[in-house]
Structure 1
């Protein structure tokens, strides 16, 4: 599987390495980079106390002041939209130079409102968030555009994710300042998976916040999406249907989320352009259900088909042949959503596990090459120092095994005093 994926990556590297950054349709440009400064008037729409979304009680896993902020951001269609973000403030004394802000950018949950972290809970990420709070940082955790608010979430749209972050920081600073808190201009982003992708987007578009951006920590960041999809496809080619099903279900789940996230936006594509009829009838579930249920639904249909076709998916209708050449999809996969395609002006730290099957190491090595080619200063941390290959990091343990290291990185990039 690794050899197959490496072949796909190498064969696609010319296209992927020439991916361009996204533009912006807003009229208020900064001449040097085309990114509009956030000048939204009164960005804070509403502030609510944040409680456990499952019980309604005070959130039990975090020792902090907890607010759910509804704020205005510039959306993917270049119009102001409302979005939501969690804001966690330490209960300790304000640092001498004011609160510094760490943004936590979450991984894939889905595109439906109920998939927003503020709606379904923070899960194991509370461990990292609490340690950042204990270290003396305010933590801002945006839901991303369209999650927990009007419209579909533009899944893996780099600029949308970036503005979800920059505009949440501006709104959080406004809220804290209005509360009489002293707030620094310094901030940085930590993100995992889709959140790593978003964190790299925040680095590219950081000037929108018009503050002092200090750096990026991207853990198993999504990138080189075409290579990931093609590599995953080829990794199980010719194998029995029961082996292919879980791999294909995950790949088609990501594809369905991409298409679902485009619905109702200026740049869009319909399901039939991307999926064959059998899957096109199922894929819209991505608009209403969260990622695991989307994958399960797609996988169940495949499994039922294989069970009646000699354990084969050979003629099952999944994605359209060459769907990645559809202009909207092609531009999305190798253009607008490729992170690191311009020089990032602040230091970047990347963590990647060699046992990761969601964001394979090969994709992140391609990202590493892109960053180097653009002159970005970065540090690449892998797990090759772990002797036992089975103990090396997967997509989940790359975070859990490095919580303390990530906090140390934050302190290095943005000392508390």
Structure 2
């Protein structure tokens, strides 16, 4: 019974952070001098091999519309300012190749964890094959990066979870490599679609798109992670007001999972950062499992002792979770929340679509409203799509904002990059 309840609890909380230009000319190189370092690694593709998903259904879905499925290892500029290697999936469609080649669409995935085993190329697409298949059927080649530190060959680099620049470079550099891999079968127009963590990555790619020196057309961000400090504080306030212990754990366990993943990611650039600086004992020992366990397993391990404590004492008062004021007293965390993770802090002039549901417990609409408002104040124009006109029973949560709008995302891509 407890095991079943745990699965339901974690699923219901949607452990996070699981994506018009009129100018359609195809310029081979687009150079913009904007201070962003341009891709300059020779031979960006390190190696390729055929891709077979862990799920038979995913292979069946993709095989109906894909001409090729490739696992590509490529060179990228890492979060530490050095060349590193990352992995991405590359799919080509069965549709007739346009005269200029297939445009490229990046699919940026939601949260899976920070360990190599959590990379989508290793654990499978887990349902995202349906959207990828729609893009392929519409005539687009698709690039799906694992992100820096996920599935990377050395096995030594932690994924810099929600680091905006790392996510952006994971995308831009994968686009460059995929373009080289596909040669004249792909054209230089590209756009990006991402959900949750991937929505955050898509907005990062919008900011750093010029790094690829290709013909970037726009971003579609679905329930993008942003304003992380406010999300964490809001979750704590919600839990404090909740009298039902089950619902309280359903809020607190995801918050701790989220915080553990952030801590693990920060340890890429700040390896001396200790979990005990952010988590109280013994929760710090569980949080450290973020470096080996994927997010669902990690969430269950953080929730279990919380449930046991609640069952024993009839309260969660006194349960040792995070250190007080860790978001403001630890420099690495403070800077990450304010700067390193926050998208749209500069004006973006290329098209941006953002989709957000009002029933989303993972990325609250208030956080995205603030993101959009702040971006608008900077002069960034955003096509903001919400569920405000839907009846209450059809309001989007963190999952349905994605799965209910797959065809709309494809239409958005088509508006950005019509097949020529």
Cα distance in 2 between the residues matched to 1:396 and 1:117: 18
1:37 aligns with 2:43: no
Offset at residue 58 of structure 1 (A):
8.9
Find 2:232's aligned residue among 229, 235, 259: 229
Which runs of structure 2 are paired with 1:12-411 in the superposition (5 Å)? Answer: 32-54=33-55, 59-62=59-62, 63-64=65-66, 65-149=68-152, 150=155, 151-177=157-183, 181-238=184-241, 239-266=243-270, 269-309=273-313, 311-325=314-328, 326-387=330-391, 389-411=392-414
Distance in 1, Cα, partners of 2:382 & 2:268:
37
TM-score, normalised with respect to structure 2? 0.88
Relative to structure 1, is the Cα distance of residues 105 and 285 closer, same or farther in structure 2, using a 3 angstrom cutoff? Answer: same
Give me the whole-angstrom Cα distance separating, in 1, the residues matched to 2:104 and 2:69.
14
How far is the alpha carbon of 1:59 from its aligned partner? Answer: 2.2
Question: Is the 2:228–2:337 contact (alpha carbons within 8 Å) kept by the matching residues of 1?
Answer: yes
Q: How many Å separate the matches in 2 of 1:204 and 1:188?
A: 12
**Using the alignment, how far apart are the partners of 2:203 and 2:273 within structure 1?**
25
Distance 1:97 1:173 in 2: 13
Q: TM-score, normalised by structure 1?
A: 0.89
Q: 1:291 to 1:411 in 2, by over 3 A?
A: same
Alpha carbon RMSD of aligned pairs, Å?
Answer: 1.6
Q: 1:168 to 1:31 in 2, by over 3 A?
A: closer
Output the CA distance in 2 between the equivalents of 1:266 and 1:230: 24
State the secondary structure of the residue aligned to 2:125.
coil
Shift in Å, 1:266: 4.4
Distance 1:216 1:320 in 2: 37
Aligned residues: 382
Deviation at 1:124, TM superposition (A): 1.8
**Contact 1:278 1:316 survives alignment (8 Å):** no
Structure 1 residues without counterparts, runs of 5 or longer: 1-29
Question: Which of structure 1's runs of 4+ aligned residues deviate more than 4 A?
Answer: none
Gaps of 5+ in 2: 1-30
Mapped contact 1:267–1:328 kept (Cα < 8 A): no
Distance in 2, matches of 1:415 and 1:92, equals: 14
